[in-house]
Structure 1
Amino acid sequence: MKRLPPLPALHTFWVTAQCCNFTRAAEQLHITQGAVSRQIAGLERHLGYGLFVRQARGLSLTEEGREWALRVQQVFGVIGEAVEQIGSRREVLQLKASTCVMRWLLPRVLQWQRERPDVPVELTTTVAYTVDFRREPFDAAVIYAPIGEQSEQARHLFDEQLTPVCAPALLDNLHTPADLQHQVLLHPTRDQRDWALWLKAAGTRLSSLSQGHHFETLDLAMTVAAQGSGVAIGDRALIGEDLKAGRLVMPFELRVPTGMGYFLVYPPQTVPSAGLLALMDWLTSQAQM
């Protein structure tokens, strides 16, 4: 079988055949007129016959040239369709995360999509803190778990550190932890354990600890706190965006670690794709900022 002609030369021929002018073809291809002429001449030598008739006022296609122009147009049309179709089948990463981490995660996923539209992410939220990759078809998940008990598939994001948060309007009424006695406490859990842990570290006891409002998720407690309806106990790492925007403030410096943390994990016995590795590296670096 005769050796196939080089693809660059065929592309140059295709462009030249559409305008029948070496100068205009060179402008479209961003090469010199001489380079166009040499590629066409080389293609003709390879094929063993002429493709153009050189005339004083320009070029015209030979009979063989007209047949080649039709065939080459079809070939590059197929290549163009492949570029469009295959390029559109991008890897869509399925990411799961609990609602409590969404205040930190969602702005970063949106930023990732702006910076890396070639690696789209579909984010699923849940009240569950864990993931079971045997039953849940996710590529990765952000979980809430004890520090130091994670597998090698886990990337540490940040540790949980509890601290009270409130709307700026309440800040003038909170000078010491004892002032919390006169505020409505917002609980992200039914058992008040987060508030109890922080107050113990602060050396403060409140008779109003069991009162206030209870919420199913940390996110709901933070939202109500930002509206000025009370003081919530929150995780410092998860409220960074609210602090920057001025929706929430920290009345006290004390932050109490709980021994829990947030981790980015992927299924065991799997090799992460290049897109997933890039996303994991990027989120891990974001968590260190």
Structure 2
Amino acid sequence: MKRLPPLPALHTFLITAQCCNFTRAAEQLHITQGAVSRQIAGLEEHLGYTLFHRQARGLSLTAEGLEWLPRIQQVFGLIDEAVEQVGAHRETLQLKASTCVMRWLLPRLLQWQRERPDVPVELTTTVQHGLDFHREQFDAAVMYGAPPDSSLASLHLFDEQLTPVCSQPLLDGPVPLHSPSDLDKHLLLHPTRDQRDWKAWLKAADVNLNTLGKGQHFETLDLAMSVASQGTGVAIGDWSLIGDDLSAGRLVMPFDLKVKTGLGYYLVFPQKPGPSPQLRELMEWLVVQAQAR
């Protein structure tokens, strides 16, 4: 019997075939465009024929690709049905998380569900940073702030490290951004209504800006990062949360300075009754993901 193609590559083919674009497929799969291209190329090599025509304006399916698509759709439809039916009796882990950590957490939970569909997770987000396990029915939470006190069990994920970020075109543009003092020539983007993040970083950089109070304020880190990636201005962000954006080139760091605030991100859970084996496995997996940044 011929060795079957790897399941992740088949899923990548399905998503790519549905949108016929490597970039959009990468966004849906939460991996890089290069990873999508390599998985498709590996699948084609395994099969011995091409699945896509690579064209200047995008992709189109070959005759073989057109034959494959409905079959792969049927396969994943059966898998989805099996997961729903077989896993219906399984207990879903209830996880709560601050919205500020979602940029890091959500792609990893999606990866977890792809790897461990037998351990489903239901995620609830909150703008609050506290949690009362006596009143709220959650198995664990990902919280931002100072180290939790001894009333809660906790696992450390990573520390907050502030650094300015912008788009590559803005960094390469006609307005200089070679030193922190050059920030006076650019629009500052604030991820919160106050200016505490910029103030903390500028203090560490020993720079005073005349334009600090004239920037654009946002309600969330995601909004500030999205606007920064479009080349509108320079945002201040948590390096620990935007590693995926930096790796993908959506954002760049104009300066090397990263400022620790003394705050961080923690997995917290009740001391009693301790975590279930499934929850312990998920939390340990998330810690490994955090250490691999």
- TM-score tier, shorter chain, comes to 0.5 to 0.7
1:206 maps to which of 209, 215, 220:
209
Letter matched to residue 140 of structure 1: A
User: Which ranges in structure 2 are unaligned for 5 or more consecutive residues?
Assistant: 1-83
The Cα shift of 1:146 comes to: 1.0
Find the aligned partners of 1:87 and 1:123 in 2 and give their Cα distance.
17
Between 1:268-277 and 1:177-186, the stretch displaced more is: 268-277
Q: Which residue of 1 aligns with 2:113?
A: 113
Find the aligned partners of 1:280 and 1:186 in 2 and give their Cα distance.
33
TM (normalized to structure 1)? Answer: 0.68
Q: Please state if 1:155 is matched with 2:155.
A: yes
The Cα shift of 1:99 comes to: 1.3
Q: Which residue of 2 aligns with 1:93?
A: 93
CA shift in 2, pair 1:87/1:99, >3 Å: closer
Which whole-Å deviations, capped at 9, do the CAs of 1:217-256 have from their partners, x for residues lacking one? 2222112111211111000000011111111111100000
Query: Is contact 1:147–1:159 with CA below 8 Å preserved after alignment?
Result: no
Which whole-Å deviations, capped at 9, do the CAs of 1:20-42 have from their partners, x for residues lacking one? xxxxxxxxxxxxxxxxxxxxxxx
Find the aligned partners of 2:238 and 2:284 in 1 and give their Cα distance.
23
What is the DSSP-based 3-state SS (H/G/I as helix, E as strand, rest coil) of the residue aligned with 2:131?
Answer: coil
Q: Which residue of 1 aligns with 2:264?
A: 261
Q: Which residue of 1 aligns with 2:238?
A: 235
Between 1:185-194 and 1:278-287, the stretch displaced more is: 185-194
Which whole-Å deviations, capped at 9, do the CAs of 1:163-219 have from their partners, x for residues lacking one? 001111111231100110011101122220110110011111101011111112222
Query: Is contact 1:99–1:219 with CA below 8 Å preserved after alignment?
Result: no
The Cα shift of 1:119 comes to: 0.3
Matches within 5 A, 1:1-289: 88-147=88-147, 149=149, 151=151, 153-172=153-172, 173-289=176-292
What is the DSSP-based 3-state SS (H/G/I as helix, E as strand, rest coil) of the residue aligned with 2:125?
Answer: strand
Rg larger for: 1
After superposition, the CA RMSD in angstroms is: 1.7
Find the aligned partners of 1:103 and 1:160 in 2 and give their Cα distance.
14
TM (normalized to structure 2)? Answer: 0.67
What is the DSSP-based 3-state SS (H/G/I as helix, E as strand, rest coil) of the residue aligned with 1:163?
Answer: strand
Q: Which residue of 2 aligns with 1:14?
A: none
Between 1:183-192 and 1:198-207, the stretch displaced more is: 183-192
Query: Is contact 2:162–2:236 with CA below 8 Å preserved after alignment?
Result: yes
Paired residues, number:
206
Which whole-Å deviations, capped at 9, do the CAs of 1:40-89 have from their partners, x for residues lacking one? xxxxxxxxxxxxxxxxxxxxxxxxxxxxxxxxxxxxxxxxxxxx977531
Q: Percent identity?
A: 67
Find the aligned partners of 1:204 and 1:101 in 2 and give their Cα distance.
28
Letter matched to residue 186 of structure 1: L
Find the aligned partners of 1:245 and 1:213 in 2 and give their Cα distance.
25
CA shift in 2, pair 1:149/1:255, >3 Å: farther
